[in-house]
């Protein structure tokens, strides 16, 4: 299974042993795009990124043929928190993430909005102020992709209205460095009709935000019921979303320039399962032709 020249499909890959190992892991699964952590996501400790590390990553990426890379920020970061100490620690961590990505040449950081805890409007304002502060501290081209959430508890970012409100609350010069990432499992859990009404979901997103601001998609099926608020990923076509929405995504020309990353279960063999999922998605993308007319590809990957 080889990535095509225009392929922006891939997976989240491990950086164990150093971030420079990530591109080769992407090649091993046939990815055209990868997502990485530049630090351990469940620890506050900031890594030391040496010049040699940067050079090795850039060289490995150039040699790999992988066309797109995004990073994902730490799970601990909460820029919406009413706790000032946690917000300060979160801002330092998020600024560090942006700085590492600027050094590595990674153009986007995927970021979950925070948990407001006390008041939603106040939390949104704190979150936007935190994004603005961190972006201003790391000038350049590296930007933020605000990711829609499943909506559990006090998490911000469940609705398109809330996502666009976060971006619009930023100073105008910084808005150019902020766009969006959507996750099919999150949309499903948040109550958007991904399984049976995907066209309507895109219409709503385009009307409220604009499809041109959708830069990344996380393609995950779900173990959870629609509208449950529960974020539990499943293999593509084997969960409560089903295969048809993924066929539509893979064949939608409007989504061709969007980076597509799977975060499906790795099981006991991450390479095997990531290859299997990417092969399945590419099979959905192909259209067989009979008598000059397109038809759906038959069979499962």
For residue 232, give its domain range.
9-296
Q: Is 155 part of a structural domain of the chain?
A: yes
* The pLDDT of residue 297: 38
Q: What is the pTM of this model?
A: 0.93
Q: Is 4 part of a structural domain of the chain?
A: no
Residue 78: which CATH number? 3.20.20.150
pLDDT band at 4 (very low <50, low <70, confident <90, very high): low
* The pLDDT of residue 286: 87
Q: Is 241 part of a structural domain of the chain?
A: yes
CA distance 203 to 1: 33
State yes or no: pLDDT of 290 exceeds 50.
no
Averaged pLDDT for residues 134-150: 97
Q: Is 2 part of a structural domain of the chain?
A: no
Q: Is 3 part of a structural domain of the chain?
A: no
State yes or no: pLDDT of 298 exceeds 90.
no
* The pLDDT of residue 2: 58
Single out the residue of 154, 101, 104 nearest to residue 124, CA to CA. Answer: 154
Q: Is 301 part of a structural domain of the chain?
A: no
* The pLDDT of residue 300: 38
- Choose the weakest-confidence range: 40-49, 84-93, 258-267, 285-294: 285-294
Q: Is 277 part of a structural domain of the chain?
A: yes
State yes or no: pLDDT of 296 exceeds 70.
no
State yes or no: pLDDT of 71 exceeds 80.
yes
Q: Is 1 part of a structural domain of the chain?
A: no
* The pLDDT of residue 255: 97
* The pLDDT of residue 85: 98
Computed over every residue of the chain, the mean pLDDT equals 94
Structural domain tally of the chain? Answer: 1
State yes or no: pLDDT of 5 exceeds 50.
no
Averaged pLDDT for residues 227-247: 97
């Amino acid at each position: 299974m080889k990535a095509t020249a225009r392929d922006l499909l891939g997976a989240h890959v491990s950086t164990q042993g150093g971030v420079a190992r990530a591109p080769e892991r992407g090649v091993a699964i046939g990815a055209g795009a990868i997502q990485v952590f530049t630090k351990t996501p469940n620890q506050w400790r900031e890594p030391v990124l040496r010049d040699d590390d940067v050079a090795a990553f850039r060289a490995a990426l150039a040699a790999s043929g992988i066309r797109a890379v995004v990073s994902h920020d730490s799970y601990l970061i909460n820029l919406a928190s009413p706790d000032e100490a946690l917000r300060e620690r979160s801002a330092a961590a998020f600024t560090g993430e942006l700085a590492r990505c600027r050094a590595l040449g990674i153009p986007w950081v995927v970021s979950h909005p925070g948990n407001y805890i006390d008041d939603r409007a106040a939390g949104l304002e704190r979150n936007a102020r935190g994004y603005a502060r961190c972006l201003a501290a790391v000038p350049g081209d590296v930007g933020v992709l605000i990711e829609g959430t499943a909506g559990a508890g006090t998490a911000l970012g469940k609705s398109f209205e809330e996502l666009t409100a976060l971006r619009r609350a930023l100073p105008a010069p910084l808005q150019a460095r902020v766009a969006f990432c959507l996750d099919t499992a999150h949309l499903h859990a948040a109550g958007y009709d991904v399984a049976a009404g995907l066209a309507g979901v895109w219409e709503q997103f385009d009307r409220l935000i604009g499809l041109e601001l959708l830069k990344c998609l996380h393609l995950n099926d779900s173990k959870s019921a629609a509208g449950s608020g529960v974020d539990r990923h499943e293999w593509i076509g084997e969960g409560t979303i089903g295969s048809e929405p993924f066929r539509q995504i893979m064949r939608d020309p409007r989504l061709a320039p969007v980076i597509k990353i799977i975060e499906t279960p790795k099981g006991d063999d991450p390479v095997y399962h990531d290859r299997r999922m990417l092969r399945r998605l590419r099979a959905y993308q192909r259209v067989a032709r009979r008598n000059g007319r397109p038809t759906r590809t038959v069979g499962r990957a």
